[in-house]
Amino acid sequence: MLDDRTTAETTWPTAYPQGYAVVDVETTGLARDDRIVSAAVYRLDAQGNVEDHWYTLVNPRRDPGPVWIHGLTSAMLSDAPLFEDIAAEFADRLADRVLVAHNAIFDWQMIAREYARASATAPVRQRLCTIALSKELNLPLPNHKLESLAAHFGVVQQRAHHALDDARVLAEAFRPSLHAAAEGGVRLPLLECRPLTEWSDSPVTPRVGYQASYRGSSWRPSRKRPPCPHPNPGRFEDGKPLKQGMRIAFSGDTSVERELLEDRAVEAGLHIATSVSRLTSLLVTNDPDSATSKTVKAKSFGTPVVDEAAFTQLLRDVAPAES
């Protein structure tokens, strides 16, 4: 384990945040109506030193989902508190801090939905994704998995996919990352968090092979995405990685919430296209034979098409933009 108090002499940027909440949540799945089954928070000071930590199980009031991943059974969660019972304590841990997570958009969306269900909002205004930070630091990682980031900094993981241990590992890996950024004058990749202000648990009809979709809710955040900073390198080629700047379009239902997929793509340096044109690099759809305008245009233009599962794999290793 890294020594939390062993620091190099660093001129600390005054614009850096004054505190962080390193978070990990385990969930029943990845879809919009999935629930949190456990949560952990490590609170860190401005320089990444651990102040305290907190962990709780959460009764999701539904099947726990992939028990083979998080190890939490229905019996283990039956007497756990409901999210509304721990919402205040969770909020105290997050208040006035930057939420830090590995693939932060996922953890933030899950947390925001739980608070919306509880008719509340999480006191989080900014998030920092450690995947994005590792890219800003140009760390020589073989991939963007948490285990690779941990190995790079010599952090030993004891229980993968246990919220408390994942949060501990990330906290220990985040601290040297934060110091490397400060020493190198690297801008932290901070993004705004937009809490949900309403929630509708309308019933949905599951499709075979899909998790429940988000179509039952009328909620959709209103926001304007910043322009992609990278030029379009052209079309995706099978067998090669995605490249930053590629124009990605989506069509049809997805098992993971569309906005979550789009946010992951934006954080990876890709451009989200609202329509398909000759400049589109890739169309993502689970139903390539449908007659939507996007799939029809993709066929006429010869635009490459992949399904959601393949796209999720490609997102793990997006090649940097060519200088």
Q: Is the pTM of this model over 0.75?
A: no
How many other C-beta atoms can be found within 10 angstroms of the C-beta atom of residue 226? 8
How many other C-beta atoms can be found within 10 angstroms of the C-beta atom of residue 310? 13
Q: Are 105 and 258 in contact (CB under 8 A)?
A: no
- Where do we find the tokens 């034979």? 289
Q: Count of residues for the chain?
A: 323
C-alpha–C-alpha distance, residues 113 and 108, integer Å: 9
C-alpha–C-alpha distance, residues 285 and 276, integer Å: 12
pLDDT in tens, the chain (323 residues): 344 434 445 578 877 999 999 999 999 988 778 999 999 999 999 999 999 999 999 999 999 988 988 999 999 999 999 999 999 999 999 999 999 999 888 899 899 999 999 999 999 999 999 988 998 899 999 888 899 999 999 999 999 999 999 999 999 999 999 999 999 999 898 888 877 776 666 543 333 333 333 333 334 444 467 789 999 999 999 989 999 999 999 998 776 667 778 888 988 899 999 899 999 999 999 888 888 889 999 999 999 999 887 888 888 889 998 86
